[in-house]
């Protein structure tokens, strides 16, 4: 059994009783603003239950929502770059998180449609955040791929992301590293 964790300040409060069905109900419809919010909320629920790795995967799914940037939910809960960095940094020792650096490295290199380039550069953006907040995590030395610079990521987020997305990501990257939980 995982130990409970304090709520992530960058995610909405989770309603009691959330489980996989909160996302499964969106399978048949387009993955728009309601799906995005459900991913954030379920990610918070997973996080607070001590399921850090699953929470990060849920945030990955939020990044895959089909949004145009004008959705009201984005004003209150912007794209979860800050949540991703905070959760990665705040995962206590002994709570399974895997290696997010390797996850994002592979994820970016193997992205499929829809919105392949947008989602690919979001994965590289999360990879860069992981490198900053958990520099001790190694990359995969056998995965031979050119790792982008922060400037390349910023440029591609401008090109493929939502309006203002590159600035949201850069502001998180430029913040002091959150203190890891101990």
Of residues 181 and 20, more confidently modeled? 20
Distances, alpha carbon 165 to alpha carbons 2, 16, 181, in Å: 33, 31, 28
The pLDDT assigned to 112 comes to 84
Domain ranges of the chain: 21-174
The pLDDT assigned to 23 comes to 62
pLDDT tens across 103-117, in order? Answer: 999 899 888 888 999
Q: How many CB atoms lie within 10 A of CB 169?
A: 28
pTM exceeding 0.75: yes
Of 120, 93, 86, 81, nearest to 104 (Cα)? 120
Q: Which of 10-14, 140-144, 151-155, 173-177 has the lowest mean pLDDT?
A: 140-144
pLDDT tens across 88-139, in order? Answer: 999 999 999 999 999 999 899 888 888 999 999 999 999 999 999 999 999 8
pLDDT tens across 41-70, in order? Answer: 999 999 999 999 999 999 999 999 999 999
Of 136, 67, 147, nearest to 104 (Cα)? 147
Per-residue confidence at 16, pLDDT binned at 50, 70, 90?
confident
181 pLDDT higher than 60: no
What DSSP line would sit under 142-177, residue for residue? T---PPPPHHHHHHHHHHHS-TTHHHHHHHHHHSPP
Q: What is the mean pLDDT of residues 133-154?
A: 91
30 pLDDT higher than 80: no
Of residues 20 and 45, more confidently modeled? 45
1 pLDDT higher than 60: no
The pLDDT assigned to 113 comes to 85
The pLDDT assigned to 29 comes to 59
The pLDDT assigned to 127 comes to 97
What DSSP line would sit under the chain, residue for residue? -PPP-PPPTTSPPPPTT--THHHHTTSSS---HHHHHHHHHHHHHHHHTT-HHHHHHHHHHHHTS---S--HHHHHS--THHHHHHHHHHPPTTS----HHHHHHHHHHT--SSSHHHHHHHHHHHHHHHHHH-TTS---TT---PPPPHHHHHHHHHHHS-TTHHHHHHHHHHSPPPPPP-
How far is the C-alpha of 102 from the C-alpha of 52, rounded, in Å?
A: 16
- Terminal C-alpha separation, the chain: 19
* Token duo for residue 22: 């909160």
Q: What is the mean pLDDT of residues 156-179?
A: 92
The pLDDT assigned to 24 comes to 63
């Amino acid at each position: 059994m995982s130990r409970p964790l304090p709520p992530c300040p960058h995610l909405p409060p989770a309603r009691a009783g959330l489980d996989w069905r909160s996302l499964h109900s969106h399978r048949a419809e387009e993955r728009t603003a309601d799906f995005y919010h459900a991913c954030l909320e379920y990610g918070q629920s997973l996080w607070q239950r001590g399921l850090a790795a699953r929470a990060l995967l849920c945030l990955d799914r939020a990044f895959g929502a089909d949004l145009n940037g004008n959705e009201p939910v984005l004003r209150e809960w912007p794209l979860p770059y800050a949540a991703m960095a905070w959760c990665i940094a705040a995962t206590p020792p002994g709570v399974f998180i895997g290696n997010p650096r390797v996850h994002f490295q592979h994820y970016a290199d193997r992205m499929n449609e829809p919105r392949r380039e947008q989602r690919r550069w979001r994965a590289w953006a999360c990879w860069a955040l992981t490198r900053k907040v958990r520099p001790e995590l190694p990359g995969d030395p056998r995965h031979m791929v050119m790792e982008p610079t922060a400037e390349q990521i910023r440029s591609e987020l401008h090109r493929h992301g939502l309006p203002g997305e590159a600035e949201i990501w850069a502001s998180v990257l430029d913040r002091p590293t959150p203190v890891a939980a101990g």
